Amino acid sequence: MFARLFNSKEKPRFKRSKKWENELNKCIRCGYCYELCPLFKTNNWESDTPRGKLLLIYGMITGEIKPTQEIVEKIFQCFYCKNCSDNCSAGVPVTDILTDARADLIEAGFDVEGTIVKVDEDLCSVCGVCVPVCKYEALSIEEESKDKSKIVVDKVECRGCGLCVSACPSGAISQKEGCQITLRELHTKVSDLLKENKEMKAIVFCCNWSLFPGMQLSESLTLVKTPYGLIVSMCSGRVAPELVLNAFEEGAWGVMVAGCPPEECDHDGNYKTRRRLVLLKSMLKELNIEPERIKLEWFSTGESAKLTKSIDDFVNKLDKLGPIQKMEVSKKIGG
Amino acid sequence: MKIDIGKLKKIVGEKNLSDNIADLYVYASDASVHHALPAVIVRPKTIEEVQKIMRYANTNKIPVVPRGAGSGTSGHTVPIDGGIILDMKQMNRIIDISPEDMLVRVEPGVVDDDLNRALKPYGLFYPPAPASSRIATIGGEIAANASGVRSVKYGATRDYVLGMKVVLADGKLVNLGANTRVHSSGYQLERLIVGSEGTLGVVVEATMGIRPLPKYRCLGVANFDRLEDAGNAISEIISSGSQPSMLELMDKIGIIAVNKAMDLKLPEVAAIIMFEADGNVKQAVDFEIDKMKKICEKHNGTDIEMSYDIAERTRLFSGRKKLFASLSRYKEGIICTDLADDMGVPNSKIAVTAKKIHEIAERNNVIMAVYGHCGSGVIHTKIMLDPKKKSQWKDAEKVIEELYDYVHSVGGVTSAEHGIGLSKAPPWKKARKDIIPMMKSIKKALDPNNILNPHKLMDAPDNWVEATNLRYRVG
């Protein structure tokens, strides 16, 4: 209790995590989960993989290593896409183990950034818009005094999806950079893709939960260049309108968003995307830009053939439409 | 051994070095049972950086362990002498794809499946296909002479290595081999590096042969009530002159494990065989697959299913694909360990060896599944035991000794495709006393300070349970 209040660290007892020792032994450490981990694809450090995290938890509960700030940061870097848990042939419940380890470490007084969202109290007006956005109830309004309240983040429950980041009207919620999830990093990715390949016509945002386009870690100068660029965002709900408009500004002929089917989204982010894109399409109309340059389609896990066909159809449509002519007004909006 | 971290940081940059415990602890492991902490991890991006690191390490006699994805099963990348882990995953460029010359030039950190994704639009592929191809790097595959389900037709990594650039222990860069399909110009030194497990040099670029993707693939599955019948069917398919592109076996233990882990509802028979033929002429593929089907029927194979359809082939193969990890789910209280995992036996000995494995396991209180690319003579096993019991590790040691004595007595090899590393070194050394002095001479000539992946293969400790840290809490 006091450790929590004063943010000092007590020796973690790992009372929740210790029950998982047998499950951690079941992990044969094949490392096949590397392929499925978006964080590993970004950082390329094995300590960011599910196998790496399980190793660290095992080391801590068996007493072989003591938790340090570096270790704790690794444990709190995960987007809970559950690709690892869902595909582990040894059936190891990776994210359940991770959640218990997080709770043990928070209880011991560790403070972390990880992929957890943070609220800038100077910018936050405590409007509460973010609270219902979070399906995991990780955000709540806490009354500090009679006339002062603030938004509090439950660091164990936060899944790092970042939907609250896109929803906050004051721009008060953020995540640390370095994991390729912030709006700025996504903008840079869009811009780099379009600069690298002048023939690129479409930017396709894929939801990490529903679709996973393979390992794609290696670089190739000789790959057949595709007329589209894939960006794996954490949830289709992260695709903010300015991201779409900026893609147009950078030269994309069209933007496609591939999300989970409505009933399958873990975060209900797809509903938000749908609403946003409907509004954005009508805005494009006002600007004399064809609304069909924005496409939203749902794909379940494993429907990669459907995705490929859908992208091809979209690119064919863009070929007929040609490049965008008028961007003067949208520049102001997306700017 | 004091390592100048500042000096290494200057070579690879701040972001590509770590000596914090979070990374050290993770890089202390691979898929084996072993565990040992390195002092530092560095991630070079260029050949020059690798050369500088090796010069520094050689001058100061610091061990260096090159590492790909860390998917090795025998402890090849576990740094039992500490030192530097050379994480090669950042050198991951596919430098050139040359369909005219049917070869590719890649950096060692390129992932096998990524390479195949890049080759597919050209109608080409890189065949070795180990089960870990989704994460395994080409450098790691060279180090272990990896192969996989298609080795029965397409061979192993060594059959595709044409040339390579290697940084030696003293930092010198050498070009080995050629860009031609064959060469007879001196020692085949590129072949010497294949299977050397990072003990002779650091591969920084490889030129590999590639093949055209076959137009047709047909997969068949047959059930057997007796393991011996399945083994005999495999032997006859091979000796009959058939050309399968895949010929896999799965025993009942494996079937139960995948059913438990993935709810596949496979029939829990004594064994399943999966046989595949590929080619560009459908009639030829039909001929091969039909021939294999008839041999299966002759040996009492039943419920035979066959399909050209990719979705159906994926379904039929899904159990085999995920078998390795599923074994941990076979029974409560026991787990799957990567021990005695990939012996190779002559074609005529498949059935008897499969039976012998079950006998030895039962006698020594452990469980062992029998599966693998039996068409190439590769028998995969795993020792399933209770890792917390010290006595079970003694049982495992006994199993390994008995099993390899048998395998060697029938003319088999210790490792067919995973390598020796630490855990397979004792039985291998016992069987190959004749070649160890020669291997030691080669090692001494190329790495006189013994800094490259020291104490592996012929220099590995004889008693791996006591001499190396196990990654499990025992007792």
pLDDT exceeds cutoff 50 at A204: yes
Helices B227-239 and B282-298 sit at what angle, rounded to 10 degrees? 140
Say yes or no: B20 contacts chain A, CB-CB below 8 A.
Answer: yes
- Assess A305–B contact: CB distance below 8 Å, yes or no: no
Query: What's the pLDDT tens digit per position in B173-220?
Result: 999 999 998 999 999 999 999 999 999 999 999 999 999 999 999 999
Mean pLDDT within B12-35: 97
Measured in angstroms, the CA of B23 and the nearest CA of chain A are apart by 6
pLDDT category at A216 given cuts 50, 70, 90 is low
Report the alpha-carbon distance of residue B292 to residue B287 in Å, rounded.
9
Does the pLDDT value for residue A7 go beyond 50? no
Q: How far is CA A7 from CA A1, B4, B84, B122, B389, in A?
A: 10, 35, 36, 58, 40
Question: What's at B310, amino acid-wise?
Answer: I
Is the per-residue pLDDT at B141 higher than 70?
A: yes
Average pLDDT over every residue of B149-170? 97
- The answer to whether residue B475 neighbours chain A at the CB level (below 8 Å) is no
List phi, psi (to 5°) of B309: -70, 130
* pLDDT tens sequence across B416-435: 999 999 999 999 999 999 99
Tell me the CB-side half-sphere exposure of residue B44, using CA atoms within 13 A: 26
Q: What confidence score (pLDDT) does residue B411 get?
A: 97
Answer whether B134 touches A (CB < 8 Å): yes
- Which chain B residues are closer than 8 Å to A47 by Cβ? 22-23, 25-27
pLDDT at B406 over 70: yes
For B322-359, the pLDDT digits (tens) are 888 899 999 999 999 999 999 999 999 999 999 999 99
pLDDT (0 to 100) of residue A265: 77
| Residue partners of A113: CB distance under 8 A and separation at least 6 | A73, A76, A176
A181, A175 in Cβ contact below 8 A? yes
Closest residue in A to B321 (Cα) is A89
Alpha-carbon span B323 to B119, nearest angstrom: 28
Sign of CA dihedral A126, A132, A137, A138: negative
What is the rounded distance in angstroms from the CA atom of residue B306 to the CA atom of residue B218? 7
What is the pLDDT at residue A215? 41
Residue A217 confidence (pLDDT): 52
| Residue B223 near residue B287, CB atoms below 8 Å | no
Over B312-358, what HEC string results? Answer: HHHHHHHHHHCHHHHHHHCCCCCEEECCCCCEECCHHHHHHHHHHHH
Instruction: Label residue B5 by pLDDT band (50, 70, 90).
Output: very high
Radius of gyration for chain A, computed over Cα atoms and rounded to the nearest angstrom: 21
Confidence at residue A4, expressed as pLDDT on a 0 to 100 scale: 41
Name the band, by pLDDT with cuts 50, 70 and 90, for residue A333.
very low
Is residue A320 within 8 Å of A254, Cβ to Cβ? no
**Which of B23, B25, B110 shows the shortest C-beta gap to A218?**
B110
Query: Are A218 and B336 a contacting pair at CB < 8 A?
Result: no
Asked if residues B454 and B18 have their Cβ atoms less than 8 Å apart, the reply is: no
Nearest to A56 among B25, B114, B118 (CB): B25
Give the pLDDT of residue B341: 93
Give the gap in angstroms from C-alpha B447 to the nearest C-alpha of chain A.
28
pLDDT at A212 over 80: no
Rounded Cα gap, residues B90 and B88, in angstroms: 6
Rg over alpha carbons for chain B, rounded to the nearest Å, is 22
- Pairwise CB contact (< 8 Å): B132 & A30: yes
Say if the Cβ atoms of A221 and B113 lie within 8 Å: no
Lowest mean pLDDT segment, chosen from A272-281, B18-27, B380-389: A272-281
pLDDT at residue B90 greater than cutoff 60? yes
Cα–Cα dist B281/B272, whole Å: 27
Q: Provide mean pLDDT across the span A114-118.
A: 93
Q: What are phi and psi of B380, to 5 degrees?
A: -90, 140
Q: Locate the DSSP E strands across chain A.
A: 118-119, 139-145, 148-153, 173-174, 202-207, 219-220, 228-233, 254-259, 294-298
Spatial separation of the C-alpha atoms in residues B442 and B459, rounded to whole Å:
13
User: What pairing do the DSSP bridges indicate for beta strands B40-42 and B84-87?
Assistant: parallel
Interface of B with A in 345-404 (CB under 8 A): 387-388
Q: Are A17 and A101 in contact (CB under 8 A)?
A: yes
Cβ neighbours of residue B310 under 8 Å, at least 6 residues apart?
none
Chain A 220-279, CB below 8 Å of chain B: which residues?
220-224
B106: chain A residues, CB-CB within 8 Å: 218
Task: Give how far A34 is from chain B: nearest CA, Å.
Answer: 7
Averaged pLDDT of chain B: 95
Q: How many CB atoms neighbour CB B308 within 10 A?
A: 14
In the numeric block, the tokens 């000794």 are attached to: B401
On chain A, the residues whose CB falls within 8 A of the CB of B135 are: 31-32, 34-35, 215
> What pTM was estimated for this model as a whole?
0.91
Residues in chain A: 335
| pLDDT at B69 > cutoff 90 | yes
Are the beta carbons of B134 and A88 separated by less than 8 Å? no
Q: What is the DSSP letter of B34?
A: B
Tokens 């595909």 belong to residue: A87
Note which residues in 321-340 of chain B have CB less than 8 A from chain A.
Answer: 322-329, 333, 335-338
Interface subset of B 87-116, CB within 8 angstroms of A: 87, 89-90, 92-97, 106, 109-111, 113-115
User: Residues 6 or more apart from B178 whose CB is under 8 A from it?
Assistant: B162, B163, B185
Is the pLDDT higher at A86 or at B368?
A: B368
Distance CA B295, CA B272 (A): 14
A332 has pLDDT over 70:
no
- Please give the residue that has the higher pLDDT: either A43 or B16: B16
Q: Do A74 and B325 count as a contact with CB atoms less than 8 A apart?
A: no
A27 at B interface, C-beta within 8 A? yes
Contact yes or no for B23 and A221 at CB 8 A: no
Question: What's the confidence (pLDDT) of residue A116?
Answer: 94
A68 touches chain B (CB under 8 A): yes
For residue B410, pLDDT beyond 50: yes
* Cα B22 to Cα B205: distance, rounded to the nearest angstrom: 30
Q: Which residues of chain A neighbour B258 with C-beta distances below 8 Å?
A: 89
Question: How buried is B291 (Cβ within 10 angstroms: 0-12 exposed, 13-18 middle, 19+ buried)?
Answer: middle
Cβ neighbours of residue A143 under 8 Å, at least 6 residues apart? A149
- Segment of A108-112, A163-167, B307-311, B407-411 carrying the highest mean pLDDT: B407-411
pLDDT higher than 90, residue A36: no
pLDDT bracket for residue A262 (50, 70, 90) = confident
Contacts of B336 in chain A (CB under 8 A): 26, 28, 90
Contact in structure between B343 and B354 (CB atoms under 8 Å): no
**Cβ-defined contact of B118 to A59 (cutoff 8 Å):** no
Q: Which amino acid is at A225?
A: K
Alpha-carbon distance of B141 to B196, in angstroms, equals 11
pLDDT at position A219: 58
Residue with tokens 């085949």: B188
Euclidean distance between CA atoms B214 and B226, whole angstroms = 33
Of B97, B118, B325, Cβ closest to residue A89: B325
Which position has the higher pLDDT, A64 or A216?
A: A64
CA distance A300 to chain B (A): 16
